[in-house]
Amino acid sequence: MGEIATSKRQITLFYNPNSIRAKKTLAFAKAEGFPILQVNLLKTKLTGTQIAELANKLNLEIKDLINQEHPSYSSHFKPHELSGEDWVKMIQHQPEIMKQPVALRGDITILIETPTDIIKI
Protein backbone atom coordinates (compact mmCIF):
# COMPACT_ATOMS: atom_id res chain seq x y z
CA MET A 1 0.00 0.00 0.00
CA GLY A 2 1.34 3.41 -0.95
CA GLU A 3 1.57 6.65 0.94
CA ILE A 4 -0.93 8.37 -1.36
CA ALA A 5 -4.50 7.49 -0.42
CA THR A 6 -6.81 6.88 -3.37
CA SER A 7 -10.50 6.30 -3.71
CA LYS A 8 -12.73 5.11 -6.53
CA ARG A 9 -15.27 7.69 -5.38
CA GLN A 10 -13.14 10.78 -5.94
CA ILE A 11 -10.32 12.06 -8.11
CA THR A 12 -7.16 13.28 -6.43
CA LEU A 13 -5.66 16.02 -8.59
CA PHE A 14 -2.06 17.14 -8.09
CA TYR A 15 -1.71 20.50 -9.82
CA ASN A 16 0.01 23.87 -10.03
CA PRO A 17 -2.61 26.65 -9.69
CA ASN A 18 -0.58 28.86 -12.04
CA SER A 19 -0.86 26.35 -14.87
CA ILE A 20 -3.46 27.13 -17.53
CA ARG A 21 -3.85 23.40 -18.24
CA ALA A 22 -4.48 22.73 -14.55
CA LYS A 23 -7.05 25.52 -14.29
CA LYS A 24 -8.90 24.22 -17.34
CA THR A 25 -8.72 20.62 -16.10
CA LEU A 26 -10.12 21.62 -12.72
CA ALA A 27 -12.91 23.65 -14.32
CA PHE A 28 -13.77 20.78 -16.68
CA ALA A 29 -13.80 18.23 -13.86
CA LYS A 30 -16.05 20.44 -11.72
CA ALA A 31 -18.39 21.06 -14.66
CA GLU A 32 -18.66 17.29 -15.15
CA GLY A 33 -19.53 16.93 -11.46
CA PHE A 34 -16.51 14.83 -10.50
CA PRO A 35 -15.74 14.86 -6.76
CA ILE A 36 -12.18 16.18 -6.51
CA LEU A 37 -9.54 16.30 -3.81
CA GLN A 38 -7.25 19.14 -4.86
CA VAL A 39 -3.54 19.00 -4.01
CA ASN A 40 -1.90 22.33 -4.77
CA LEU A 41 1.75 21.48 -5.46
CA LEU A 42 2.85 24.99 -4.49
CA LYS A 43 1.25 24.75 -1.03
CA THR A 44 1.57 21.05 -0.24
CA LYS A 45 5.14 19.79 -0.20
CA LEU A 46 5.26 16.22 -1.46
CA THR A 47 7.47 13.73 0.32
CA GLY A 48 10.12 11.83 -1.58
CA THR A 49 8.02 8.70 -1.19
CA GLN A 50 4.97 10.43 -2.69
CA ILE A 51 6.97 11.71 -5.68
CA ALA A 52 8.44 8.25 -6.27
CA GLU A 53 4.97 6.71 -5.93
CA LEU A 54 3.48 9.11 -8.50
CA ALA A 55 6.31 8.33 -10.93
CA ASN A 56 5.79 4.60 -10.37
CA LYS A 57 2.02 4.84 -10.88
CA LEU A 58 2.65 6.70 -14.16
CA ASN A 59 5.27 4.13 -15.22
CA LEU A 60 7.89 6.89 -15.37
CA GLU A 61 11.29 7.44 -13.87
CA ILE A 62 11.38 10.30 -11.37
CA LYS A 63 13.43 12.42 -13.79
CA ASP A 64 10.62 12.08 -16.34
CA LEU A 65 8.28 13.91 -13.93
CA ILE A 66 10.33 17.06 -14.47
CA ASN A 67 9.35 19.54 -17.14
CA GLN A 68 12.80 20.59 -18.32
CA GLU A 69 11.20 23.16 -20.63
CA HIS A 70 9.62 25.07 -17.73
CA PRO A 71 11.20 28.54 -17.32
CA SER A 72 11.89 27.84 -13.65
CA TYR A 73 13.90 24.74 -14.58
CA SER A 74 16.07 26.52 -17.14
CA SER A 75 16.66 29.49 -14.82
CA HIS A 76 17.78 27.31 -11.87
CA PHE A 77 19.24 24.16 -13.43
CA LYS A 78 21.21 22.90 -16.39
CA PRO A 79 20.23 19.64 -18.13
CA HIS A 80 22.20 16.76 -16.63
CA GLU A 81 21.87 13.28 -15.22
CA LEU A 82 21.20 12.97 -11.51
CA SER A 83 20.25 10.27 -9.04
CA GLY A 84 16.57 9.63 -8.29
CA GLU A 85 17.07 11.24 -4.88
CA ASP A 86 18.46 14.41 -6.49
CA TRP A 87 15.51 14.63 -8.91
CA VAL A 88 13.16 14.31 -5.93
CA LYS A 89 14.96 17.17 -4.16
CA MET A 90 14.62 19.32 -7.28
CA ILE A 91 10.86 18.76 -7.33
CA GLN A 92 10.60 19.45 -3.60
CA HIS A 93 12.51 22.75 -3.87
CA GLN A 94 10.95 23.87 -7.18
CA PRO A 95 7.51 22.16 -7.33
CA GLU A 96 6.50 24.21 -10.37
CA ILE A 97 8.90 22.14 -12.52
CA MET A 98 6.90 18.94 -11.95
CA LYS A 99 4.81 17.82 -14.90
CA GLN A 100 1.19 18.18 -13.96
CA PRO A 101 -1.71 17.91 -13.46
CA VAL A 102 -1.67 14.30 -12.31
CA ALA A 103 -5.01 12.66 -11.58
CA LEU A 104 -5.59 9.54 -9.47
CA ARG A 105 -8.75 7.57 -8.97
CA GLY A 106 -8.64 4.11 -7.45
CA ASP A 107 -5.91 2.17 -9.28
CA ILE A 108 -5.79 4.56 -12.26
CA THR A 109 -3.25 7.37 -12.52
CA ILE A 110 -2.82 9.65 -15.52
CA LEU A 111 -0.74 12.66 -16.46
CA ILE A 112 -3.19 15.15 -17.94
CA GLU A 113 -2.09 16.38 -21.37
CA THR A 114 -5.35 18.12 -22.27
CA PRO A 115 -8.12 19.11 -19.83
CA THR A 116 -10.57 16.57 -21.28
CA ASP A 117 -8.16 13.73 -20.35
CA ILE A 118 -9.80 13.84 -16.93
CA ILE A 119 -12.75 11.88 -18.33
CA LYS A 120 -10.40 8.92 -18.95
CA ILE A 121 -10.22 8.40 -15.24
> Cα–Cα distances in Å, from 89 out to 4, 7, 40, 43, 108?
18, 28, 18, 16, 26
How high is the pLDDT of residue 86? Answer: 87
Q: Identify the architecture of domain 11-120 in CATH.
A: 3-Layer(aba) Sandwich (3.40)
CA distance 121 to 12: 11
101: nearest Cα among 116, 111, 87: 111
pTM above 0.85, yes or no: yes
Q: What is the pLDDT of residue 67?
A: 85
Sequence spans of domains, the chain: 11-120
- How confident is the model at residue 82, as a pLDDT? 80
Q: What is the pLDDT along the chain (121 residues), one digit of tens a residue?
A: 478 888 889 999 999 999 999 999 999 999 989 899 999 999 999 999 999 999 999 999 999 998 887 777 767 777 677 888 888 998 999 999 999 999 999 999 999 999 999 988 8
